[in-house]
Every structure is written in structure tokens, then in C-alpha cells.
Amino acid sequence: MSAVELISPLTDEERNEIEAEVAHLPDRESAAIDALMIVQKHRGWISDESLRAIAKFLDMSPASLDGIATFYNLIHRQPVGRNVVMVCDSVSCYVMGADSFAVKVQDHLGIKFGETTPDDCFTLLPIVCLGACDRAPTMLINEDLFGPVKEDELTEIFSRYS
Amino acid sequence: MSLQDTKPLIGRVQEVGGLVSLSEYETGGGYTAAHKALKQMTPSEVIDLVREANLRGRGGAGFPTGVKWGFAKGEPQTPGYKYLVCNGDEMEPGTFKDRYLIKFNPHSLIEGMILGAYAIGAEKAYVFLRGEYHEPNRQLARAIAEAREKNYLGRSIFGSDFNLDLRIHLSGGRYICGEETALLNALEGKRGQPRYKPPFPPASGAWGRPTIVNNVETLCNVPAIIRNGAQWYHDLGLTDDAGTKIYGISGRVNKPGLWELPMGTPIRELVDVHAGGMRDGYKLRGILPGGASTDYLVEEHFDLPMDYKTIQDAGSRMGTGTMILMDDSICPVDMARNLQHFFAQESCGFCTPCREGLPWVEELLADIENGNGKDGDLELLDQNARYIGAPGNTFCLHATGAIEPLQSALKYFRDDFEHHIEHKSCPYREN
């Protein structure tokens, strides 16, 4: 396999969005996190091929970019489903029953944390405190915050994303 | 008299009943402080006024804001050389105040940042915002665009020679980024690992330049201080600590939420009056007064006023002022396990005591909770708490913060830990 095939080239749209970030930063590498988030927004996750393309575009090594990508909770280095469900497991939600709530969400989706439904519709992940502790237990689906979530609401909530 | 006279942070939000638009912010006196400062005050006068008002950092450490700003004063005055960074990386578990401020009153943060940037001589400013805060991000981005359009941001603001470019950096998500030097590394697009200090950020911060990092709530306080003066701000507080504070309560109370109240409001008043008391059938046993990384307070402390000094004297920290309540249905051992799971997971992994010690502590706690505790486990936890928690054994204070709720749980709820080990089971579990 040639080196070219190990890269999934960035689209014009992705390049433009990354360049807009680079424009107000002192150097290209400083846009690393922004670039990862931009590409993830378009592709859902950061594959090795995407990672190499971003690294090349920012004049940095894929290894150091991977060090950054794997550091952050919100950057996915594995494929995710069309919708990402994040359930808070921090202390305020814990006090309000997050552990049993998490079991119910897993039962409902039929997957464990870290897994994706067979139809690729949902990926389920734990997340740290979502900063909505007066609404515990909380859950984030893509960009939508839910809380307090009751078990009998789960069917309706998930159906909006199916 | 308007609500804003006693509630400079969210009075306007309550007056308009939700998101404060630009025009609503202006009719409530918004941007007059920035206008006044840029036209009539020198940067030093702004700093002096904030110092005189005794505004202390609302992110947790409580450092005097005016003093911090003073550290960046007098550095080279090359335009755009310094940075002001707003720490909006609200990830302290149990804390939800900055989300509220940004979502409902974004222009007050922008005005506070104009004032802060003017005071320290920064022409570039960033809001470092949690990646999970989608709605606050949208509101803040819109408010920044509105402010640019009105020339409250941009070049020659209010016809002065002061310029300010304000941008949002959305975080990739990691608790340690709330630590200011880790935040600066993340802002630079790097792994969010804390830096060795000194140098401190006011000397060398973002991209090696003098940088001041302030919390959202801290900056939102500044416009009203400039408008109404130091004495007015001082008089808002009930104790020696000035101003108001956004207090929050989560847990099994009737009305969990946030309230802007005089600094020094007693804990019991917060719980019984503002949060509507405990839910029927639950008794309050302990609180984490200012987020997950603060020591527990118990019954003997509940009549204390919530201010920096009093809570510190009681052996804890006011932290973010948003309290997590532990009721009598919660197992203190399992709650400690939950807390240490968070801190172990969010350790950046640079220092050994934090990277290796915190997972070990979590494992010990899980063993005790699951009925596999052994004689000597408590002593091992005590020993770990002393070693991991001692400032100076690690680069930053992540591990120190992690140990605060553990050491106080071991102190106040020791009987529970001993019971688990002795009976090889958790008495809080059903069956």
C-alpha cells in the first residue's frame, strides 16, 4: 500500500474551516484540537486516515496529534453511531441514582457503555458531570441535554433520534 | 430599586425572565461600565477599584482578582501582546453556575472581559468553554457577534484607542483543563497537562505571553463594580468577603437549583429556605460545599456562613459555592468510590502519585464497598491520602483536590468504613 492510501484527504469544506481557525492563531499546530473537532463534526470520528490527513495539513507528526486526540474525552478515535448518547456518572447524578439509571439506559438500548447498536443508530458512553446538577440524572444526546430523565421517558426520547 | 441593585449577576435575568438580549442588557445599564472605564479611567484605576472591592476568584481558589490583574500590569505594552482568558471549563462535578451565566447573561461576561482586558492591557481574549456546553456556546457566539456589530468588540471601542478581539475555544473535554496552566496548553492546541510553576501565567502564559485567567462568574461581577463602586459591592456581602455569590445545591432536596445571594449566606438557610429543605424521608448527613474536590462538612458546620474564610477555617473550601448534598440513604463508602473514579479517570497521568495512586484508592474503596475489605485497608487509605494529597508531591493540585473528600469521609464517616470491612457487606444495599 502506498503512503497516499493511508490518508483520507480533507474536503475543501474541512480545509476552509480549519484555515479559519489557523488564521487567528500564532502557528498551525495550535489549531490541532479545533481541527480534530471540525473533522469529527463532518465524519463522526477520527480514523487513522483522518488523523494523518489533519497532521499533514497542520505540519505536525501523526504521533503527536494522536497524543492530543486520545487525551480528550470528546474526540472519538473509534467509530460511533449516528447519535452519541452520554450519560453522566459524576457525583450529583450518582446521588440521584445515576447508577441504576445507567443500567436502564443500557437495557433500553440493548448495549453496554462503549458499544454501538447493530443498526449504527446509537453509541453509548459515560460522561463526567454535565453541569446541570439540579436536573440530575442527566444525559446528553448529540447536542441536546436531558434531565431529570425518568425511566418511562426513555422510549420517547430515543425515538426522536431513530 | 431594581433587582440588579442586590443581584448584579442574575438580577437582570430574573427581570427579563430568561436570556438577556443585547437591548435588554443595555436598557438595564449594560455596557455603561465598559464605556465609563475606556473613556474616563486608566487601566490602573480599574485594577485599583476591583482590588478595593475585594472581588475574589469565583472558580474555586478565591484569589483576589485585582491583585492578580496587577501581576500582568507593567509588562511590555506592545499591542496584543498579552492575553485575557476566561475559564469557562466548568467541569467540577456538582457545579452548574457558569453554564447558567453564559446561557442567560452572555453580554455581562463580554463586558466583564472588555474591562479585564482593558485593565491588564490585553487586546486578545479567549473564552475557554466546555465542549459539552452546546447551548451556552450558541448564546455566547451570538452575543459576541452582536457586540462586534455594535463595536463593543473590535477596533477603537467606544472611540478609544483600545482594541479587543474575543474568541471562543471549545474544549475537547478533560477536567484537568480547568487548572489554569493545563487550560493554557489546551488553548494552544496541546494535551491539557499542567505546566511547572513558576513561571505563573501572568508572567508567561498562553504562547509564552503574560496571561490572566479568570473564572466566568468572577468576570461577570466586574461591570457592576465599575458602575456602582467598591463600597456598594462590599456592602452586598454579609461577612468580610464581599459581593454576592451564586450558590447552588444538588441532591435530594425539594428544589435543587441556583441562587444569587449575599456572600456569607448560612448553609442551613441555603438548604432549608432556598432549596426547600430535604425531601420527605431523607436526612442530610454531609455536604461537599464547593464541588467534588472539597472536604465534607457535617451537621456541626451547617450553621456556618458560606464564605471563603469561614469554610476554610472549618477544614474545607468554598470552592465553586455549588454544594452536593449527601443524605442518609447514600453510602459514604460508595460515594467516595464514585468520586475517586472521577478523579482517577481525569488524572492527566503525568505524575506518579496521581496516575497510580488514585486508581489504587478507587480499587480499595470498591473492594470495601463490595464486601472484600480487609484489615489494614483503612490505614492504607489514610496513608495514601497523606501521600497523594500532600501539595508538592505532584505538579498540580488535581491529586490534592481528589483527596480532600476522601480524607474527610474517612474522618467523619469512619464508622461506615469499619462496618463495611467488619461485616463484609454494604449496609446501604437492599437485601
Inform me whether the pLDDT recorded for A80 exceeds 80.
yes
pLDDT averaged over every residue in chain B = 95
A127–chain B Cβ distance below 8 A for any pair: yes
Cβ–Cβ contact A25 with B under 8 A: yes
Q: Is pLDDT above 80 for B151?
A: yes
A116 touches chain B (CB under 8 A): no
pTM of the model: 0.95
Of B186, B190, B257, the CB nearest to A134: B257
Q: How confident is the model at residue B80 (pLDDT cuts 50, 70, 90)?
A: low
Residue A6 has a pLDDT of: 86
Cα-to-chain-centroid distance, residue B311 = 15
| Burial zone of B15 (CB within 10 Å; 0-12 exposed, 13-18 middle, 19+ buried) | middle
Contact A95 B249 (CB under 8 A): no
Over the stretch B98-140, which tens digit does the pLDDT of each residue have? Answer: 999 999 999 999 999 999 999 999 999 999 999 999 999 999 9
Of the pLDDT bands very low, low, confident and very high (cuts 50, 70, 90), residue B75 is: low
Q: What percent of chain A has pLDDT over 70?
A: 97
Question: pLDDT over 90 for what percent of chain B?
Answer: 92
Per-residue model confidence (pLDDT) at position B186: 98
Mean pLDDT (whole number) for B52-64? 93
What is residue A76's three-state secondary structure?
coil
Q: What is the mean pLDDT of residues B146-150?
A: 97
Stretch B190-199: mean pLDDT: 94
Given A67, A96, A132, which is nearest B99 (Cβ)? Answer: A132
**pLDDT for res A140:** 98
Mean pLDDT computed over A85-101:
97
B327–A72 CB contact, under 8 Å: no
CB contact A86 to B (< 8 Å) = yes
Please give the residue of chain A at the shortest CA–CA distance from B208: A26
**Are residues B251 and A95, on separate chains, in Cβ contact within 8 Å?**
yes
Is some CB atom of chain B closer than 8 A to the CB atom of A138? no
pLDDT at residue B355 tops 70: yes
For residue B77, what pLDDT is reported? 60
A75 in reach of chain B (CB within 8 A): yes
In what order do the strands lie in the sheet containing B211-215?
B165-170, B122-129, B82-88, B211-215
Residues of A in contact with B288 (CB under 8 A): 91
Give me the residue from B94, B131, B252 closest to A74, CB to CB.
B131
Distances (CA, A) of A35 to A41, B133, B173, B189: 10, 18, 15, 9
Closest residue, chain B, to A131 (C-alpha): B96
Are B186 and A145 inside 8 Å of each other by CB?
Answer: no
φ, ψ at A90 (rounded to 5°): -85, 180
User: Which of B133, B135, B188, B370 should be substituted to probe chain A, the one whose Cβ sees the most A Cβ atoms within 10 Å?
Assistant: B188
- B236 CA to chain A: closest CA distance, Å? 26
Contact check, Cβ <8 Å, B248/A133: yes
User: What CA–CA distance (Å, rounded) separates A50 from A46?
Assistant: 6
What local confidence, expressed as pLDDT, does residue B78 receive?
64
What is the pLDDT averaged over residues B23-39? 97
B186-211 average pLDDT score: 94
Check A95 against B190: CB less than 8 A apart.
Answer: no
Segment B9-37 shows an average pLDDT of: 97
- pLDDT tens for B321-331 read 999 999 999 99
Q: Which residue of B has its CA nearest to A30?
A: B189
Average pLDDT over residues B62-91: 86
| pLDDT beyond 60 at A20 | yes
Q: Chain A within 8 Å of B126 (Cβ-Cβ)? A: no
- What's the mean pLDDT in B257-283? 97
Asked whether residue B249 carries a pLDDT value surpassing 90, the answer given is yes
Residue B273: pLDDT band with limits 50, 70, 90: very high
CB contact under 8 A, B172 and A30: no
* pLDDT mean over A7-29: 95
In a 3-state reduction of DSSP, which class is residue A58?
Answer: coil
**Residue of A72, A90, A132 lying closest to B174 (CB–CB):** A72
How many interface pairs between A and B have CB atoms less than 8 angstroms apart? 138
Phi, psi of B303 (to 5 degrees): -90, 0
CB contact under 8 A, B132 and A72: no
- Searching chain A, which residue's CA lies closest to the CA of residue B347? A71
pLDDT at residue B61, as a whole number: 85
Asked if B176 reaches chain A (Cβ–Cβ under 8 Å), the answer is no
**What's the rounded mean pLDDT across residues B349-354?**
94
- Tell whether the model's pLDDT for residue A3 goes beyond 60: no
Residue A4 pLDDT greater than 60, yes or no: no
SS3 letters across chain B: CCHHHHCCCCHHHHHHCCCCCHHHHHHCCCCHHHHHHHHHCCHHHHHHHHHHCCCECCCCCCCEHHHHHHHHCCCCCCCCCEEEEEEECCCCCCCCHHHHHHHHCHHHHHHHHHHHHHHHCEEEEEEEECCCCHHHHHHHHHHHHHHHHCCCCECCHHHCCCCEEEEEEECCCCHHHHCHHHHHHHHCCCCCCCCCCCCCCCCCCHHHCCEEEEEHHHHHHHHHHHHHCHHHHHHHCCCCCCCEEEEEEECCECCCEEEEEECCCEHHHHHHHHCCCECCCCCEEEEEECECCCCCEEHHHCCCECCHHHHHHCCCCCCCCEEEEEECCCCHHHHHHHHHHHHHHHCCCCCHHHHHHHHHHHHHHHHHHCCCCCCCHHHHHHHHHHHHHCCCCCCCCHHHHHHHHHHHHHHHCHHHHHHHHHHCCCCCCCC
B contacts of A30 (beta carbons < 8 Å): 188-189, 207
Say if residue B8's pLDDT is above 60: yes
The answer to whether B98 faces chain A, any CB pair under 8 Å, is yes
In this predicted structure, the answer to whether residue B42 has a pLDDT above a threshold of 60 is yes
Q: How confident is the model at residue A5 (pLDDT cuts 50, 70, 90)?
A: low
Write down the pLDDT at residue B72. 85
A127·B132 Cβ contact <8 A? yes
Query: Which residues of chain B have a CB within 8 Å of the CB of A77?
Result: none
Q: Which of B95, B169, B172 sits opposite A72 (nearest CB)?
A: B172
Contacts with B190 from chain A: Cβ below 8 Å = 32, 68
Whether B35 shows a pLDDT value over 60: the answer reads yes
State whether B251 and A29 contact (CB < 8 Å). no
Q: Does B283 touch chain A (CB under 8 A)?
A: no
CB A33 to CB B172 under 8 A? yes
Hey, what's the cell of B306? 458560606
Q: How many angstroms separate the CA atoms of B64 and B278, rounded?
A: 34
Distances (CA, A) of B300 to B278, B285, B314, B397: 17, 10, 10, 28
- Residue among A67, A94, A128 minimizing CB distance to B346: A128
The residue with cell 479611567 is: B41
**pLDDT value for A2:** 52
pLDDT above 70 covers a percentage of chain B that reads 98
Question: How high is the pLDDT of residue A162?
Answer: 87
